[in-house]
Structure 1
């Protein structure tokens, strides 16, 4: 089948789809990934075809959530996604942030499936993770709040307006979020979640068609070799700790770097930073660029990160303790899962992050052997999973019943 994966988001969002796409290609399918231009590298590294989307979601996130930044990004998003309807595809695979792609699939007359990195469907187990709710509202309250984010989006007219604009742009009849959601549930629209069931057990109250499959690991770039400076640094002393905050680190690189350096000095630890400019910051701190986490993390004593879904997955895969510093969106949820699994001390929300707090958490993660023991045990379990296999099976079954045009 000709498969189009819509990977709206930043680098950490696109990388798992590159891993899934590579496996689908190995299974005999033609795979293209639609992603924002600044974040297509994982798909390029996987030798997948790319359709660049205009705009940059990071501009909306770092624009202090200003209405003008949101509107500019949403304009780009609507036009970029609507343009995908002109491409040849037999199946669309949609991330949670690319939910508008269901309108594209409808306009193209092809089926679609969800390939989510976050569990957004209603459950009593936890409140909606992309909302302002951080504490449980009770089982009924959690389910109701999550359902309302589909039927009456929290962002109100802005989100509903995107859907209406998309349908008008594609020549589709108008509808409402409630009708779209009820149709989604009536047809049991399939959604596969690229996260380990060891990290996120499948909620027992989920309807059929919602599955937790295991992580989708991106392939390492072809012919990639570590920088000699990094190899020398790793060999020159005890295992360092990793400190990185994802794509947002580029927004305030100097601030993130200075805070991390102060924390490492307080804790007396060596560090590898992914927060800004590259090179030796001091004898005990090295700042690096883009290094595959599957290679880097197992060589660390601990990893401190923002708890994006992909980085969280790479951390638990490596079998090393974590220090969770969530910033926004789904990150507090994944931070809470790391703490619940016993592989990380209590999370430090970014707004409360100080050198002293980061130093204390790093010291705890490195010196308390229980965190490493639990992290290693979890990594062994995760290594036995094949998260792409259930998606490939579903696509193959669809190929039998839905012949490509």
Structure 2
């Protein structure tokens, strides 16, 4: 069977799908992964077929305008306002992405489409081709539940029917936001390709009202799997792309690790914000005040190794599955993939979120007792970061809980469970798992 995977975003929105694709390929399926062209070599190096997608959307997010947007957006209302500001720039880029996905699908004739919600053309392309479709996402954001509010909304102290009504409402509002962003584009595409008109924009159902299966690639040990989800909506467990068996560290990194106590990792991925030098100053000061050794990942605004004390190492690159088990703690932005890697390694965690799902994962880390309270980037200081580092590296209860959670996650095989469900979908040749 040929599986087409559609995804869009940073590396954290691509790597889990590469991991799943490799798992599918290992059991005999052919996999094409369609995403931004900047990831072509990353995908092909792992033995998967690449489907072209224009990179202009990612270039916009990498621009200073995009960086400022990510730093300023902290709640759903700000997301809506930002979307309005950028709508004229984003709309043609969205249209190009949808066309690229359709071009790939027409070329390879897949038997099933698996799509990230940012590539919302997935179900419509699948409908046009007459094949099954599955929504795959790394966070519990779209499927309604009465048991908890959507991550972008406050948790109100409401009980009984009123609380359940409020929780359900938050998911309806989220769907309206997606409709505001992409509804017209999808409507026009369906009309152009002679598909029936949808009564409303909906990522979770076909135009006839059938539930689209949903795979959440996170662990139920980290975020709950609501009891009122449909049967074909699950949290399969994380999709990890392990590289530690083939990757060899440079000599200077290995020498630093061998020269003292386990360091604290600090990295914010591609999200250094509008002032990476200020952020670097805070991190260096906090590590020194906490009197711990540190490893700083790339993304620090031109910071060179000569600017650092001997107790801090600047890291260009290392796979998280190799590096994190050797850390005393990890400090990062709270992306789903980085959070998962740190938790699986049993590392106490400090999340300093910018936007999106990052505050949610930061709160979950704190609620699970495996890390500090999240520190939003706008409130990050030398003092509060140093205090958090001291807490997670010295408090036995946090260290013990982090170790126990890591053991649970290492016992899971989210890829195997996802593949079993995908196979069932292919065998049934329906939209149901």
Q: TM-score, normalised by structure 1?
A: 0.91
Relative distance call for 1:294 and 1:69 in structure 2 (3 A) is: farther
Distance verdict in 2 for CA 1:149–1:108, change over 3 Å: same
| Cα shift at 1:397 | 2.4
Say if 2:163 is the partner of 1:141: no
Task: Provide the C-alpha distance between the structure 2 equivalents of 1:58 and 1:301, rounded to a whole number of angstroms.
Answer: 35
For the residue of structure 2 that corresponds to 1:96, the secondary structure is coil
The answer to whether the 8 Å contact 2:123/2:203 transfers is: no
Cα shift readout 1:2-48 (whole Å, capped 9, x = no counterpart): 01111211101111111111111111100111111224454234221
Determine helix, strand or coil for the equivalent of 1:51.
strand
Equivalent residues in 2 for 1:6-405, closer than 5 Å:
6-40=6-40, 42-54=42-54, 55-57=56-58, 59-60=60-61, 61-62=66-67, 64=69, 65=82, 66-67=85-86, 68-71=88-91, 73-88=93-108, 89-120=110-141, 121-129=143-151, 131=152, 133-136=153-156, 138-150=163-175, 153-154=176-177, 157-168=180-191, 170-178=193-201, 181=204, 183=206, 186-220=209-243, 223-249=246-272, 252-274=275-297, 275-276=299-300, 277=302, 280=305, 281-402=308-429
Q: Secondary structure at the match of 1:287?
A: strand
Partner-residue secondary structure (3-state), 1:303: strand
**In 2, Cα distance between equivalents of 1:71 and 1:398:** 33
Equivalent position SS for 1:247:
coil
Structure 1 pair 182–23 and aligned structure 2 pair: CA distance change class (3 A): closer
Distance 1:45 1:134, change over 3 A: farther
Deviation by residue 1:86-133 (Cα, 9 ceiling, x = unmatched): 23211111122223211121122211112211112111233222x3x2
Tell me the CA shift for residue 63 of structure 1.
5.6
Task: Tell me the CA shift for residue 177 of structure 1.
Answer: 2.8
Q: Between 54-63 and 261-270, report the one with greater CA deviation.
A: 54-63
Per-residue Cα deviation, 1:286-310 (whole angstroms, up to 9, x for no partner):
2212311001111111001111111
Q: Deviations over 1:354-392 (max 9, x none)?
A: 121111111111111211110110111111111012221
Q: Distance in 1 between matches of 2:177 and 2:206?
A: 20
Aligned partners of 2:29 and 2:204: how far apart in 1? 29
Distance 1:379 1:184 in 2: 41
Return the alpha-carbon distance in structure 2 between the equivalents of residues 212 and 134 of structure 1: 23
Q: Which runs of 5+ in 1 are unaligned?
A: none
Distance in 2 between residues matched to 1:185 and 1:220, nearest whole Å: 43
- Give the secondary-structure state (helix, strand or coil) at the position aligned to 2:128: helix
